[in-house]
Amino acid sequence: MNAPVHADRDRSGQPFPARVRRAPFRGGRAVEAGLNWSQQEIWALIEKAAPHHHVYNVVESFRVPPAVRPTEDECLDALSFFLSRHEALRSVFPRRPDGRVVQRVLAEGELPVECVDTPTDGGGEIAALEASFATRRFSFADELPLRLVLLVTEGRVWGGVYVFSHMAVDWYALQYLAEEVAAYFRNGRTLDPLPPGTMTSVGLTEWQESPDGVRRRDRTLAHVASLYRDRPPLQLPPAVADLPEESAYRQAALRSRAAWHAAARIAQDSGLSVAAVIIGAAALLLRDLTGSDRIDLHLTSSQRFGRDSRTTVATMMQESYFSVDLAGADLPQAVKRSWLSAITAFQKSGCDADSMNRLLAELGGGPDAPLRFPYCINDRRTLPADAGADADVRRGAPAADMLPDTVLTWLPVTEQEPFYLVVDDGEHGGEHGGEHGGAYLEFSLTCDIRHVTEARMESFLRELERSLVATADSAA
């Protein structure tokens, strides 16, 4: 029976009447295991954010092209297919009697799906639903890590909103899932079986507990100890304001076509990656901000180094520890030095949370005063299909000609971090950046304004763009 519920409220404030449908699934096995290293990191962040767990939800809206709009039943069949196909999507995270949180893969069950009938395929419904879903917390112990609302007109699904828990997937897993969904409908609602031995989240846990995993952990711990046994990592500038914790953070975002073209050109000319270019440019600006030649960063490593791991549906991101000496460096030199340091950091990343916490406490002032890394960079750009793809850009007008399209906005704070730079990319038409469309980079910067003022935040983002553009155009 389809029970009526209220999915959310429309633009007039009236509730949307929704029908709850069910997508049943039956997987290959039921299994329970400890959290893998990446899940341990995410869980620690979720607990730290309590009661605002929702900041680690992945919330997105979507529209279905008019030519391929499926029925509700076809969408539910697709959901059943993917829930059965991927263990991470049918996992819950209960707590054992000893207090440890585990991942439990369900062999069978069903996902409730809200279906909302709308008279037209407008944008107001999507915006309202997305805003509401952004603040809903998951019940990790007994709720599947996916929620979905489908918007339906005349029996056809034209859009909707989905929410994933970060405990189940990371950004690259979502990218792969999106590709699979497109292929599923393109290929007549079927896909080839997953290759034998495809890595799963439980499989990651098992590998990490193996002798090879233990060696990886020990290499990571030795790397961090070698960097910070005799000195602390770079700290924030001295405080310039006295504010309560709850009002001490700001978040700004700069969306730039100029930066995308400039970073790609620099990468192409240097033979390095766009990631190395961005890290080098950001590290150089931190040298100017702090007055220190030695820059220490907390990076996020995708851990998807092998071809097979690129298609793993799980959360695999791991924190890595980066340090580079930029004494006397200009931007091209900073990029080269940062690339070498980043490769080292990524190769020597991967560790369980308890072991890393013990080491950071030992290197710092004990469990109550461990080493802290205030400067973090998270590169969430789309994973390129091959090593050279993200540096493929046509020579044309100077990147500086695109600067008028740049947009800087101030956003609601999503994570209370002292200095957190998130790099993302995308495509848009002219509505977001002047009359021109195309690819762009978005730099989102969250700072503790007791140490890094709003004016310095904006200056950092604009200077990051300017330095990339100046270097790219000077080499043209």
Q: What is the pLDDT of residues 173-204, one digit of tens each?
A: 999 999 999 999 999 999 999 988 889 999 99
Q: 424: closest CA among 377, 471, 357, 375?
A: 377
Identify the pLDDT of residue 383.
59
What region does 328 belong to: left with phi over 0, alpha with psi -120 to 50, or beta? left
Residue 411 burial (CB count, 10 A): 12
Amino acid at 402: M
Q: Would the pLDDT of 445 be above 80? A: yes
- Cβ atoms 114, 7 nearer than 8 A: yes
- Cβ atoms 204, 338 nearer than 8 A: no
* Domains 4-201 and 210-474 are alike in CATH topology: yes
Give all strands of the β-sheet with 31-34 in edge-to-edge order.
31-34, 102-105, 91-92
Q: Is this structure's pTM higher than 0.75?
A: yes
Total residue length of the chain: 476
- Residue 382 CA to residue 398 CA, distance in Å, equals 24
Query: CB-based contacts of 289: which residues, under 8 Å, 6+ apart?
Result: 237, 452, 456, 460
What φ, ψ does residue 105 adopt, rounded to 5°?
-85, 130
**Which pairing describes strands 108-117 and 146-153: parallel, antiparallel, or unpaired?**
parallel
Query: Which fold, 4-201?
Result: Chloramphenicol Acetyltransferase (3.30.559)
Residue 116 pLDDT grade (very low, low, confident, very high; cuts 50, 70, 90):
very high
- Residue 458 CA to residue 116 CA, distance in Å, equals 41
Region 210-474: CATH code: 3.30.559.30
Q: What six digits make up the tokens of 326?
A: 């930029």
Q: 170: closest CA among 88, 79, 84, 75?
A: 88
* Average pLDDT in the chain: 89
Give all strands of the β-sheet with 419-428 in edge-to-edge order.
318-325, 294-301, 375-379, 419-428, 438-448, 249-256, 407-411
Q: Is 411 helix (H, G, I), strand (E, B) or coil?
A: strand
Q: Would the pLDDT of 224 be above 50? A: yes
Strands (DSSP E) found in 276-413: 294-301, 318-325, 375-379, 407-411
Domain positions in the chain: 4-201, 210-474
Q: Would the pLDDT of 386 be above 50? A: no
Range 435-462 burial, b when 16+ CB lie within 10 A, else e: eeeeebbbbbbbbbbbbbeeebbbebbb
Identify the pLDDT of residue 394.
57
- Residue 143 CA to residue 148 CA, distance in Å, equals 13
- Cβ atoms 274, 391 nearer than 8 A: yes
End-to-end CA distance of the chain: 65
**Which pairing describes strands 294-301 and 318-325: parallel, antiparallel, or unpaired?**
antiparallel
Residue 352 pLDDT grade (very low, low, confident, very high; cuts 50, 70, 90):
very high
Least confidently predicted of 113-127, 360-374, 385-399: 385-399
Alpha-carbon Rg for the chain, nearest whole angstrom, is: 23
Q: Would the pLDDT of 47 be above 70? A: yes
Identify the pLDDT of residue 305.
75
- Residue 78 CA to residue 67 CA, distance in Å, equals 18
- Residue 70 CA to residue 74 CA, distance in Å, equals 6
Q: Would the pLDDT of 53 be above 90? A: no
- Residue 380 CA to residue 388 CA, distance in Å, equals 17
| Angle at 228 (CA atoms; ends 226, 229), nearest 5 degrees | 70
